[in-house]
Amino acid sequence: MNKNKISIVILAAGKGSRMKSSKAKVLHSISGKPMLYHIIKASLEISNDISVVIAHQKEIVQEQMNNYFNDINFITQDVKNFPGTGGAMKNVDPKNEKVLILNGDMPLIDAKSLQDFLTIQADIIMSIFKLQNPDGYGRVKIENEQVQYIVEQKDASEDELKIQSVNAGVYAFSKDVIKKYIPLLNNDNAQKEYYLTDIISMAKKDALSIKPLVVDEENFKGVNSKKDLSDSEIIMQRKIKEKWMALGVTMQLPSSIYIEESVTFEGECKLENGCRITGDTIIDNSHIKSGSVIQDSVIKNSDIGPMAHIRPASYIQDSHIGNFVEIKKSSLKGVKAGHLSYIGDAQIDEGTNIGAGTITCNYDGIRKYKTIIGKNVFIGSDTQLIAPLTIEDDVIIAAGTTVTSGKVQSGSMAINREKLRILKGFYYKFFKKINK
Ligand code: UD1
Ligand code: CA
């Protein structure tokens, strides 16, 4: 793929009023990343010249994208004087002869679908799909396989509203077409905006060839509302899960599982229903049981859950983590923590057993402290480990102990229990008193 042949312009300056949100539309997330991220990522697979048109919350949009990508040209739209998708193109100066223009609210787009625009010969190629319910999209009038014009929903007549061919929002133009027609656009329409889509009828009058490329909603769906956002999320989730299943990941009831696009799987993995796996997580040869949540962590040769919560920066290898165990920023190797524990800022070594109800008390209200536990340590149930703390190899912590010593030497046992007292007959005396 020669990435120097085509320029791509992504329109991301709009407010997105229909989202009913204070956040710019293109920053709403799908599968863990802003919509605009997905579009730029697909675009970079086929082009080196990517321009993103911004205006609304432009600093935030730019800053967020700069976290992910270098070498994106940001262009500011004069939304006050030239609002609309046509206005967005005013200051754009693409490097290459052929230019793809994409709406910034199409997170499902992939590089392969974009490449299809390069295979057709015409002055203008525009994407269309047919919908039973075309609500919200611009309608495309087609006659004799040639596009005649696009009319926006708000400007359409009764008859035009019935047209089921809609403008998907991707166009291939030559640079000359852009240079010639963008300055000629006007805002004589219902929204008083400069519509990019008006180029079509103008070019048609000048007898340019305009070909439709039929695309499918799976890849081109536009997001205008929270409902569209959730519909697109469902589609992207299905794609992500189908990809991993094809690569050998077993999933029970995949529709109940959520996996972000940044997650990777290696070896043979099994996911039970209801798991949520997010961020930069790597799951390697492991079994994640139902209802578990894993964020930004590495899980290797281990089984997790059901209903375990693995929080960011955890590294879990050769371990068994059972139900209601929360782990944060900890590294566990060859460890069993079967039930009901909080392990935070800890490092735990091979052969160690963490009993039910163990808590690393890692926070004193101001700072966080580390707990380091060596090999073959047996930690009894209901234990508080007050950090900073080092427990060396081969140690027993008796059930019910609060370890306050900072260090427990190898070979020892730590125990601090009240002596048990059994008061014979107390039960009967006590309740008799109460019932009086
Ligand atoms: C647009 C098309 C419509 C098409 C639909 C496909 C126009 C006039 N209409 O409508 O025919 O069916 O996409 O999804 O183009 N934007 C700017 N600057 C602006 C306004 C918008 O950059 O001044 C950006 C937005 O951030 C967004 C994209 O352009 O990413 C599309 O804008 P939007 O308002 O969603 O257009 P639609 O009404 O969906
Ligand atoms: Ca849209």
DSSP labels, 288-329 = E-TT-EEES-EEES-EE-SS-EE-SS-EEES-EEEEEEEEES
Distance from Cα 9 to the centre of ligand 1, integer Å: 13
Ligand 1: atom nearest CA of 15 is: 26
The active-site residue out of 28, 56, 287, 339 is 339
Mean pLDDT for the chain overall:
96
| pLDDT at position 8 | 98
Using CA atoms, how far residue 257 sits from 244, 263, 298, 314, in Å, is: 12, 13, 18, 21
Cβ–ligand 1 distance for 137 under 6 Å, the answer yes
Does some domain include residue 434?
no
User: Do 302 and 319 contact (CB within 8 A), yes or no?
Assistant: yes
Task: Tell me which H or E stretch contains 386.
Answer: strand 384-386
For residue 379, give the nearest of 341, 345, 406, 430 by alpha carbon.
341
HSE toward the beta carbon, residue 234, CA cutoff 13 A:
8
What token pair was written down for 286? 């492991």
| pLDDT at position 432 | 77
- Please, which residues have CB within 8 angstroms of residue 408's CB and are 6 or more apart in sequence? 389, 390, 391, 392, 395, 397, 414
The 3-state DSSP class for residue 68 equals helix
Q: Whose CA is nearest to atom 1 of ligand 1?
A: 169
| pLDDT at position 312 | 98
Same domain, 179 and 278: no
User: Do 337 and 326 contact (CB within 8 A), yes or no?
Assistant: no
Same domain, 207 and 253: no
The total number of structural domains that make up the chain:
2
Cβ–ligand 1 distance for 189 under 6 Å, the answer no
| pLDDT at position 48 | 95
| pLDDT at position 434 | 59
Same domain, 134 and 270: no
Cβ–ligand 1 distance for 297 under 6 Å, the answer no
Ligand 1: atom nearest CA of 87 is: 23
Does some domain include residue 428?
no
* DSSP 8-state symbol, 245: H
H helices of 247-393, where? none
The Cα–Cα gap between 143 and 283 comes to 52
Distance from Cα 24 to the centre of ligand 1, integer Å: 13
Burial class (CB in 10 A: 0-12, 13-18, 19+), 430: exposed
User: Do 185 and 107 contact (CB within 8 A), yes or no?
Assistant: no
| Edge-first strand listing for the sheet containing 298-300 | 264-266, 282-284, 298-300, 315-317, 331-333, 346-348, 371-373, 389-391, 407-408
The Cα–Cα gap between 298 and 283 comes to 6
Same domain, 205 and 230: no
Does some domain include residue 1?
no
Same domain, 32 and 163: yes
Does some domain include residue 425?
no
Each residue's pLDDT tens digit, 77-110: 999 999 999 999 999 999 999 999 999 999 999 9
Q: Which residue is listed with tokens 């909080």?
A: 342
| pLDDT at position 310 | 99
- Please, which residues have CB within 8 angstroms of residue 211's CB and are 6 or more apart in sequence? 120, 122, 124, 125, 126, 145, 146, 147
Same domain, 320 and 370: yes
| pLDDT at position 239 | 98
The Cα–Cα gap between 77 and 49 comes to 18
The Cα–Cα gap between 304 and 310 comes to 9
The partner residues of 151 in beta bridges, in order of sequence, read 139
Output the domain CATH number for residue 286.
2.160.10.10
Same domain, 26 and 120: yes
Same domain, 131 and 48: yes
Same domain, 234 and 180: no
User: Do 372 and 346 contact (CB within 8 A), yes or no?
Assistant: yes
User: Do 182 and 89 contact (CB within 8 A), yes or no?
Assistant: yes
**Residue 339 annotated to the active site:** yes
Same domain, 164 and 71: yes
Residue spans of the chain under pLDDT 50: none
Does some domain include residue 424?
no
Does some domain include residue 422?
no
Output the domain CATH number for residue 149.
3.90.550.10
Same domain, 18 and 141: yes
Does some domain include residue 235?
yes
Q: Which domain holds residue 303?
A: 226-414
User: Do 302 and 289 contact (CB within 8 A), yes or no?
Assistant: no
Q: Each residue of 19-31: b (16+ CB within 10 Å) or e?
A: beeeebbbbbebb
Cβ–ligand 1 distance for 151 under 6 Å, the answer no
Same domain, 189 and 327: no
| pLDDT at position 435 | 53
Domain boundary among the residues 214, 234, 258 is at: 214
User: Do 405 and 387 contact (CB within 8 A), yes or no?
Assistant: no
Domain boundary among the residues 167, 192, 214 is at: 214
User: Rounded to 5 degrees, what are φ and ψ at 181?
Assistant: -95, -30
Cβ–ligand 1 distance for 85 under 6 Å, the answer yes
User: Rounded to 5 degrees, what are φ and ψ at 107?
Assistant: -70, -10
| pLDDT at position 43 | 98
For residue 126, give the nearest of 170, 179, 166, 88 by alpha carbon.
170
Does some domain include residue 433?
no
Distance from Cα 222 to the centre of ligand 2, integer Å: 5
Cβ–ligand 1 distance for 232 under 6 Å, the answer no
The beta-strand segments (E) located in 26-119 are 29-30, 33-34, 49-54, 73-76, 98-103
Distance from Cα 16 to the centre of ligand 1, integer Å: 9
